[in-house]
Amino acid sequence: MKKNNLHNVKSPGFKTPKTYFESFEADFFERLNEKEAITSSEVSGFTVPDNYFDTVESKILDEIQNKKETPVINLKPKSRFYYFAGIAASIALLFSLGFNNDNITIDNLETEILESYLYQEDYTNDDYASLFKSDDISVTDFIDINISDETLDHYFENVDTEDLIFE
């Protein structure tokens, strides 16, 4: 049956005999009164050995008293090692951070490291433009720039021609 035709179904599809619900109660009680049905349910199929409950208590107590003790391993020597290792690591970290006099500034950074970082981050021109305010940049900042021929030659030798093509 297709799902889209389910709203058109008028009959449920289940059928019962005509007098089924009128005679159901009488048939049900008649079957309850039959001896065969009740006797078949009296036997469970499980049996317990003779005198089982008289001897089970003494067997359990014997097993508890004869229980062998397992050896206990003391774990404290290993935990002491971890305490001392943690203290030594924290002292080493304290000395490495406390006596480090290298102050990192923009002047100390190499331009190659900064360029490689910016190149790997995949920034767009819009991202760079959002960092500058229009008041900070003027046309005169770009007019008097002197770039040496060696710098230009070095740039054009290392740049791919595909990078120079504007889309």
Residue-wise pLDDT for 45-64, tens only, equals 788 888 888 888 888 888 88
Question: What's the CA gap between 2 and 121, in Å, rounded?
Answer: 55
DSSP letter for 19, please: T
Q: Greater confidence, 144 or 91?
A: 91
How far is CA 163 from its chain centroid? 42
pLDDT 10s digits, 12-28: 778 888 888 788 888 88
pLDDT tier, 88 (very low <50, low <70, confident <90, very high otherwise):
very high
How many CB atoms are located within 10 Å of the residue 39 CB?
9
pTM of the model: 0.21
Name 31's Cβ contacts closer than 8 Å, sequence gap at least 6.
37
**37 and 31 Cβ atoms separated by less than 8 Å:** yes
Structure tokens of 62?
């014997």
